[in-house]
A and B are shown apart, each in its own frame.
Chain A
Amino acid sequence: MRIRMQKATCAAGLDVPRWDIAIVGDILDERGRQGVSFAAANARQTAILKYLPDELQIDINGDRVSAEQIENYMLDNRGRRMVLETTTLGFVEVFLCCRAAKENGFGDVSLIYVEPGGYARPRRSQVLHKRAFELSGRVLGYRSFPWAARRLDDAREQFVVFFLGYEERRLERAMEDLQIRGERCYLVFGVPAFRAGWEMDAFANNIRVIRDRNMRCPIRFCGAENPASAYEGLVEVQQAVGKDADLFVAPVGTKPHGIGAALFAAENHEVGILYDHPARTAGRTADTHNWHLFTAIF
Chain B
Amino acid sequence: MSAESAAIRGLFSKNRAEELGYDVWEDFVIPPFYDRLDLTEARKPRIIVGGRGCGKTMLLRYLSHQTMLSQKRDKIPEEATRHIGLYWRADTQFVNAMAKRDKADDVWESAFNHLVALELGKQALASLQSLAGSACPMFQNPDLASMDFGRLRAMDLALPTTYGALCDELESRLWHLQGWVNDIRKVSEPRFLPGRQFVIALVKVIKEQVPALGDTIFFVYLDEYENLRQYQKEIIHTCLKHSDADDGLIFNIAVKRNALGVPHTVGPESIAQIHDWRYHDLEAYLLEENFPVFAGEILLLNLCAAGIIARPISIEDLRDPGALGQRKSPEYAKAVLAKVRKVFPGVSQEELAKGVFETPELLNRLRRWIKRALPAQASRSDVERFLRPTHPKASVIVPALLHRSSLRTNDVLEELDKLEQGKPNRFTGRTNWIHNNFIGCVLNLYEPYARACPFYAGFDAFCGIAHGNIRHLLELCHKSVQQALRDQACPDVSMTPQQEAEAARAASAAFLGEVRAFGPLGNQLYSFALRLGSLLALSHKRPTQSEPEVSHFSIGRGKQQIGSAESGFLQEAVKWSVLFEEKLTKQKERLRPAGSEYVLNPIYAPYFHITYRKRRRLNITSDDAIVLIHGTYDQVKAMLRRYSKRWSVDLNSHPTLFSHLEQEDEA
Contact = CB atoms under 8 A, between A and B. Distances in A.
Interface of A: 55-57, 66-68, 71, 126-130, 132-154, 168-169, 172-173, 176-179, 181, 208, 212, 214, 269, 274
Interface string B522-540: 1110110011001000000
Of listed B100, B101, B521, B534, residue having the most chain A CB within 10 A: B101
Interface residues of A, dominant DSSP: loop
B527 A134 contact: yes
Given A147-B182, A149-B182, A137 B93 contact: no
A71 B184 CA distance: 13
Nearest to B636: A133
B376 to A, nearest CB: 33
A176 B96 CA distance: 17
- Nearest first, the 4 A-B pairs at minimum CB distance are A173-B517, A135-B523, A149-B97, A143-B96
A182 B115 CA distance: 27
Contacts of A151: 91, 94, 174, 178
Contacts of B664: 130
B564 interface: no
Given A138-B521, A149-B178, A66 B93 contact: no
Nearest to B533: A128
A152 B101 contact: no
A154 B227 CA distance: 18
Interface stretch (B483-491, B612-620, B653-661): B653-661
Given A151-B174, A172-B514, A214-B13, A178 B101 contact: no
Interface in B69-98: 89, 91-94, 96-97
A128 B100 CA distance: 43
A67 B101 contact: yes
Nearest to A153: B91
Contact of B101 (A136, A140, A146, A173): A146
Given A133-B633, A139-B520, A147-B182, A177 B18 contact: no
Contacts of A71: 185
A173 B522 contact: yes
B431 interface: no
Nearest to A248: B93
B194 to A, nearest CB: 21
B178 A145 contact: no
Given A126-B656, A134-B632, A176 B94 contact: no
Contacts of B99: 56
A127 B174 contact: no
Contacts of B660: 127-130, 133
B510 interface: yes
B101 A149 contact: no
Contacts of B182: 146-150, 269
Contacts of A150: 94, 178, 182
A127 B633 contact: no
B530 A128 contact: yes
Contacts of A149: 94, 97, 178, 181-182
A176 B517 contact: yes
Interface in B585-643: 630, 632-633, 636
Contacts of A177: 92-93, 227, 517
A158 to B, nearest CB: 11
B211 interface: no
Of listed A134, A154, A177, residue having the most chain B CB within 10 A: A134
Contacts of B307: none
Given A128-B657, A212-B510, A141 B520 contact: yes
Interface residues of B, number: 53
Contacts of B520: 138-141
Contacts of A145: 97
B517 A172 contact: yes
B519 interface: yes
A65 B636 CA distance: 42
Contacts of A269: 182-183
27 contacts: A56-B99, A56-B100, A56-B101, A71-B185, A128-B530, A128-B658, A133-B530, A136-B630, A137-B523, A138-B523, A138-B524, A139-B522, A143-B93, A144-B96, A146-B183, A148-B182, A149-B181, A150-B178, A150-B182, A169-B513, A173-B522, A176-B514, A177-B517, A178-B91, A214-B13, A214-B14, A269-B183
Nearest to B185: A68
Contact of B91 (A68, A129, A135, A152): A152
Contact of A130 (B510, B519, B526, B633): B633
A173 B514 CA distance: 8
B41 to A, nearest CB: 32
A133 B531 contact: yes
Of listed A57, A67, A149, residue having the most chain B CB within 10 A: A149
A132 B663 CA distance: 14
Nearest to A176: B517
Nearest to B19: A214
Contact of B184 (A68, A143, A154, A169): A68
B516 interface: yes
Given A144-B93, A146-B97, A150-B94, A135 B185 contact: no
B102 interface: yes
A139 B475 CA distance: 27
Interface string B305-321: 00000000000000000
Contacts of A130: 633, 660, 663-664
Contacts of B101: 56, 66-68, 146
A138 B89 CA distance: 25
Given A142-B93, A152-B94, A135 B516 contact: yes
A210 to B, nearest CB: 12
Contacts of A274: 93
Nearest to B531: A133
